[in-house]
């Protein structure tokens, strides 16, 4: 067995499988590579669990009693929980794997699978969660900076982000061009931006195009 390099004390793997034996073996395997592991026998049990702070991923058996495993991603999304999911299934079909990927699967493994396959998938998923967490932290910081703007400064920010000239923005807001210039300077300062291009990128990340 090639031991993937995933010795991360913060990381946690969440296993959702109704088969007790497989659940226990997965826990053992995951713990043997130094990761923490929590197991759940059903989707409902899992949904009661709060997402950990640190990097985490889910190993999910598609065929669960009660709700199907394939329904779980949308239920997590509705609950505003973001977490990478590795699907495992007893009998994978192509339509099912397509559905799984669309539902946000990192990996789709068909039983029986090797430990290496799973651990690679777990490492990848944790890495993805870790960077997602970094992105989320950055965006969180951007949002707190943005929150410091006055309503007038936000209007000016949106006008600049939309590519309008100072004169046009002043006309839109019914104020003087000079006043717009002053607001614009304070916006750049408060958000730590140096160019119009930086402002446009900031706006895109804050409000992803729908």
Binding site for other proteins (CB under 8 A): 1, 3, 19, 21-22, 24-26, 28-29, 31-33, 63, 65, 88, 90-91, 111-116, 118
Task: Please identify, using beta-carbon distances, which residue of 26 and 187 lies nearer to other proteins.
Answer: 26
Task: Please identify, using beta-carbon distances, which residue of 6 and 193 lies nearer to other proteins.
Answer: 6
What would the 3-class secondary structure string for 72-97 be? HHHHHHHCCCCCCEEEEECCCCHHHH
Task: Please identify, using beta-carbon distances, which residue of 97 and 175 lies nearer to other proteins.
Answer: 97
At closest approach, how far in Å is the CB of 64 from other proteins?
Answer: 8
At closest approach, how far in Å is the CB of 83 from other proteins?
Answer: 21
Task: Please identify, using beta-carbon distances, which residue of 92 and 132 lies nearer to other proteins.
Answer: 92
Residues with Cβ within 8 Å of residue 90, at least 6 apart in sequence: 63, 110, 111
At closest approach, how far in Å is the CB of 65 from other proteins?
Answer: 5
Asked if residue 82 lies in contact with residue 58, where contact means CB atoms within 8 angstroms, the answer is no
| Phi, psi dihedral angles at 157 (to 5 degrees) | -55, -50
Phi/psi region, residue 36 (left: phi>0; alpha: psi -120 to 50; beta: rest), is beta
Q: How far is CA 112 from the centre of its chain?
A: 29
At closest approach, how far in Å is the CB of 97 from other proteins?
Answer: 15
């Amino acid at each position: 067995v090639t031991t993937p390099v995933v010795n991360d004390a913060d990381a946690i793997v969440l296993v959702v499988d109704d088969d007790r034996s497989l659940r226990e073996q997965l826990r053992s395997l995951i713990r043997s590579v130094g990761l923490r592991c929590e197991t759940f026998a059903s989707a409902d049990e899992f949904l009661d669990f709060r997402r950990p702070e640190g990097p985490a991923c889910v190993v999910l058996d598609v065929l669960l009693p009660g709700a199907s495993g394939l329904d779980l991603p949308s239920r997590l999304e509705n609950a505003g929980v973001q977490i990478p999911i590795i699907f495992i299934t007893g009998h994978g079909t192509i339509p099912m794997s397509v559905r799984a990927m669309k539902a946000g699967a990192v990996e789709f493994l068909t039983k029986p699978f090797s430990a290496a396959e799973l651990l690679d998938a777990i490492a990848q998923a944790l890495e993805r969660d870790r960077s997602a967490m970094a992105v989320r932290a950055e965006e969180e910081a951007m949002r707190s900076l943005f929150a410091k703007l006055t309503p007038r400064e936000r209007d000016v920010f949106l006008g600049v982000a939309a590519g309008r000239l100072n004169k046009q923005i002043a006309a839109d807001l019914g104020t003087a061009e000079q006043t717009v210039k002053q607001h614009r300077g304070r916006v750049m300062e408060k958000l730590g931006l140096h160019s119009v291009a930086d402002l446009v990128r900031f706006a895109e990340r804050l409000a992803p195009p729908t």
